[in-house]
A and B are shown apart, each in its own frame.
Chain A
Amino acid sequence: MTTRAEFMARIRAELGKTRGLPPATPARRPERPRVEAEAIRAELAERWPEALERFRHELEKVGGVFYRVATLAEVVPVVAGIARERAARRLVSWHAAELGGDLGPALTAHGLEPVAMPPGEVASAAERQRLRELVAAAELGLTGADLAIAETGTLVLSSGAGRPRSTSLLPPYHIALFDRTALVESLAQAGVFLELWHADGEPGNRGAVISFITGPSRTADIELTLTRGVHGPKEVHAIFVEAPIRG
């Protein structure tokens, strides 16, 4: 087997043979991501309605559905409406702390069967298995979103405690909530936030996976006919909440 030292030595030896390559530099990174991220937020305090309109337009282009409500409480009838039209009842969601509030009782009152995920990891393997089967059988998955990128209609979801990966993956209908603090205009701006999340080198509360979700799961592998929901959600619904959801 090749060791790390051998592998690296070969690379260094080959790099040593290169001559006269034109100088090249990677993309310019934000020097102080926190300051730049705050600057983006400050700019968007003015421009957010345009960014939100762009997000709606791009999301719809990739087959997503957009909604806008005033408060977190108003999310419930929207979710209930989506469920009713699809004759769906079983809903799994991120933990209330990650979603910005406990929507469980209100969803139940609308005839849904909501189950919130636990706030952290679960020691018992049997319980983990039970939860996985529950998520796999659910029709609706309700999550938050860390970023909503206007130019591409992309939702960015970071995994972590109380925000399991499968909530937005296994159920056929994914519903994501976001507010103004998540909205950015471009992938370049999203890059500043990704730099910020990784800036101190420590993961903090973040989990190991960040997902960029651009519309429903789709394939064109059979005669290039576009088909939705091949593995992940068949439908992606994004609900913009005007009142701040978190903090």
Chain B
Amino acid sequence: MSQADLSIPFRRRAGRAMEDAFLQEALTIATTKFIGLRREAFDAFPEGERLRDVAREIKEATLQHLDRYLEQLIGNVERFGGRVHFATTPAEARAVILEIGRRAGARMAVKSKSMATEEIHLNEALEAAGIVPVETDLGEYIIQLAHERPSHIIAPAIHKTKGQIADLFGKELKRTVPADPEALTKLARGELREKFLQADLGITGANFAVADTGTVVLVTNEGNGRMVTSLPRVHVAVMGVEKVVPSMTDLMVFLAILAKSATLVQGPRRAGELEGPEEFHLVVLDNGRVDQLAGPLREALDCLRCGACLNVCPVYRQIGGHAYGHTYPGPIGILLTAMLNGPGSVKELAHASSLCGACVDACPVRIDIPRMLIELRREVDEKRIAPWIERVVFTSVGWLLARPLLYGLAGRIARVLQRPFVRDGAIRSLPLFGDWTRTRDLPAVASRTFRERWSELERETPR
């Protein structure tokens, strides 16, 4: 499966993903492996649990005084010779970057993995402006060659087999290569090494930015982050406004819970340095984030984009990233999509969760994703974005639940009406609700309800 077509309803997109036998296998292997690796890492790291709370508090403390920390960051980036730009919308961010590229006379841009640049659809804009974008993260490189989008935040090409990748390299790079990860990686290394040495422009995201020092921090495992920030003449970092942390001490907490390989960049090449970009630009991106500083999705601003909630989510594990249809997949992706594109964009996705809470347990900063999903469901209902049948059912059930006498009566009526549909103590199919009961059983109303048994007990037991 390649790109999700948003004109197809989510249910059909998810259905297709579930019929894709290869995708199903890849998802199971990948997510299971990630969960195992994470457990190992945390088992070997006893302070991990405490540090998660510390990390969350740092995020909260920064958001509460975001104005102050951002001003401090800007001041320090400029002090070291960097330039800071502000973009409220994706269009503004693209315009700023294209202008930097134009003035640098750039023909080719090497990129290290960045969800922020995915979010603003930068590659299409660069291409249209005559600047060839080259993704250098191996997974991103593969999906760029295939003209697809990432299906996982940190493993963008998990939906492809090594055989598919070998075919792709054969077709796009005109090179025959065995379907062996080692050989494929070596070929990509050679191809990309050339690009690193040629490119005029290096484009990165930013995992963190340290206010106290004006340092932009990239977490990478491949070393491409270091290439992109060291070899081209101009470096542009695109950063979501919420990525600020106050100090180096705070940064160490995040490196401890997230990753141990990182590049800390403090402005352009400094006097005495042989290498490094002559220009450094930081683009601070809003794109719906600022609205949430006091909004219902505020907690999602704590997200580190680590992908842990994807791996444990029973829905993501079944349908993969593409079926969600937006830049950010998985449980957190639903919230981020709502943040970026408004609640109307997730009227279906808001329900693509069993609210099991596995995501909260996995989240390194313990973001309460289910709570916000419920909020979102309420919002799409109240704003009449949800389908009418859903609104009618929710409204009437809500009304009934608030009236104990009527609720009891409804139970007794249902007990009679359900008779034709009950088999082995469960309702297996129900007229009008066929879609719902197709994959679920509804427990039948008991012959004696809890409330009835409770009042009997109260009568029997002397006070």
Q: Which of A2, A121, A220, A229 contacts B87 (CB 8 A)?
A: A2
CB contacts (< 8 Å) of B86 on chain A: these are 1-4, 6-7
CB contacts (< 8 Å) of B293 on chain A: these are 11, 14-15, 17-18
Complex CA gap A1/B64 in Å reads 26
A contact residues, range = 35 or more
**Contact flag A122-B274 (CB < 8 Å), given A198-B212, A212-B260:** yes
- A198-211 interface code vs B (CB 8 A; 1 in, 0 out): 10000101111111
Min CB gap B62→A, angstroms:
7
- B180-203 interface code vs A (CB 8 A; 1 in, 0 out): 011011001100110011000000
Asked if residues A26 and B245 are in contact (CB atoms below 8 Å), the reply is yes
Asked if residues B249 and A195 are in contact (CB atoms below 8 Å), the reply is yes
In chain B, positions 156-201 with a C-beta closer than 8 Å to chain A are: 156-158, 160-162, 165, 181-182, 184-185, 188-189, 192-193, 196-197
CB contacts (< 8 Å) of A191 on chain B: these are 248-249, 251-252
Complex CA gap A115/B251 in Å reads 36
Asked if residues B62 and A26 are in contact (CB atoms below 8 Å), the reply is yes
In chain A, positions 144-173 with a C-beta closer than 8 Å to chain B are: 152-154, 159-162, 164-166, 169
**Contact flag A117-B223 (CB < 8 Å), given A24-B60, A27-B250, A229-B189:** no
Q: Any chain B CB within 8 A of the CB of A68? A: no
The segment from A45-53, A82-90, A103-111, A128-136 found at the interface with B is A128-136
CB contacts (< 8 Å) of A93 on chain B: these are none
Q: Any chain A CB within 8 A of the CB of B222? A: yes
Q: Any chain B CB within 8 A of the CB of A126? A: no
**Contact flag A218-B221 (CB < 8 Å), given A198-B213, A207-B272, A209-B265:** yes
Asked if residues A223 and B162 are in contact (CB atoms below 8 Å), the reply is yes
Q: Which of A25, A192, A208 contacts B276 (CB 8 A)?
A: A208
Q: Any chain A CB within 8 A of the CB of B125? A: no
Nearest-CB residue, chain B, relative to A159: B273
Complex CA gap A26/B59 in Å reads 8
Asked if residues B247 and A26 are in contact (CB atoms below 8 Å), the reply is yes
CB contacts (< 8 Å) of A160 on chain B: these are 270, 272-273
CB contacts (< 8 Å) of B161 on chain A: these are 223
Q: Which of B230, B253, B263, B269 contacts A27 (CB 8 A)?
A: B253
**Contact flag A18-B294 (CB < 8 Å), given A121-B273, A161-B273, A191-B251:** yes
CB contacts (< 8 Å) of B294 on chain A: these are 14-18
CB contacts (< 8 Å) of B145 on chain A: these are none
Asked if residues A207 and B155 are in contact (CB atoms below 8 Å), the reply is no
The segment from B133-141, B321-329, B385-393, B432-440 found at the interface with A is B133-141
Complex CA gap A31/B461 in Å reads 66
Nearest-CB residue, chain B, relative to A119: B272
Asked if residues A165 and B197 are in contact (CB atoms below 8 Å), the reply is no
CB contacts (< 8 Å) of B71 on chain A: these are 8
Q: Any chain A CB within 8 A of the CB of B413? A: no
Q: Any chain A CB within 8 A of the CB of B290? A: yes
Complex CA gap A144/B128 in Å reads 44
Min CB gap B275→A, angstroms:
5
CB contacts (< 8 Å) of A3 on chain B: these are 86
Min CB gap A67→B, angstroms:
21
Q: Which of A154, A165, A194, A231 contacts B192 (CB 8 A)?
A: A231
| Chain A to chain B contacts (Cβ below 8 Å), 15 pairs | A1-B85, A2-B286, A27-B252, A188-B249, A188-B256, A191-B251, A205-B272, A208-B265, A208-B266, A211-B226, A212-B260, A221-B138, A221-B155, A222-B138, A230-B224
Residues of B at the A interface (CB closer than 8 Å) are: 26, 29-30, 33, 54, 57-58, 60-62, 64-67, 70-71, 74, 80, 84-88, 92, 95-96, 136-139, 142, 155-158, 160-162, 165, 181-182, 184-185, 188-189, 192-193, 196-197, 212-213, 215, 221-224, 226-227, 229-231, 241, 245-253, 255-256, 260-276, 280, 284, 286, 290-291, 293-295, 298
Q: Identify 18 new A-B residue pairs, CB closer than 8 A, beyond the known A29-B249, A118-B274, A203-B270.
A: A1-B85, A1-B92, A2-B87, A3-B86, A7-B86, A7-B88, A7-B286, A10-B286, A16-B294, A21-B64, A24-B61, A160-B270, A165-B276, A210-B215, A214-B260, A222-B162, A229-B189, A231-B224
